[in-house]
Amino acid sequence: MDWTDNAEQASFRAGVRELLETRLPGLYRRVAEGEGEAEEGAGNWIADRKSSDPDRRQAAADSTQLPIPCPRSRTDAPDANPRLMGPDS
């Protein structure tokens, strides 16, 4: 099986990587890098939404504002939601 990305797949992967590197809330970035889980459950979106810690609640709220990358070929699909595809779609 050939696991090589075609141009569209490579572009999608690069878009997701850029999104995570530039827009992922700091709390989630630190947890993903193995740092920070100072409080039990930090980095768990559901727990963060309900946390008494305002920074955790803000990280959870910020994460819901991330645009979801969508491959160009899917923008005309019947189930494609332009609101979820980000500003360039």
| CA 52/CA 77 separation, integer angstroms | 41
Question: Does the pLDDT of residue 27 top 60, yes or no?
Answer: yes
Identify whether 30 is part of a domain. yes
Identify whether 13 is part of a domain. yes
pTM above 0.75, yes or no: no
Q: HSE (CB half, 13 Å, CA atoms) of 72?
A: 6
Phi-psi group of 3: left, alpha or beta (phi > 0 → left; psi -120 to 50 → alpha; rest → beta): alpha
Identify whether 12 is part of a domain. yes
Which domain covers residue 23, as residue numbers?
A: 7-65
Task: Specify the number of domains making up the chain.
Answer: 1
Q: Identify which has the larger pLDDT, 37 or 31.
A: 31
**pLDDT in the model for residue 81:** 53
Question: Does the pLDDT of residue 55 top 60, yes or no?
Answer: yes
Average pLDDT over residues 56-68: 81
Question: Does the pLDDT of residue 35 top 50, yes or no?
Answer: yes
Identify whether 76 is part of a domain. no
Identify whether 84 is part of a domain. no
Identify whether 52 is part of a domain. yes
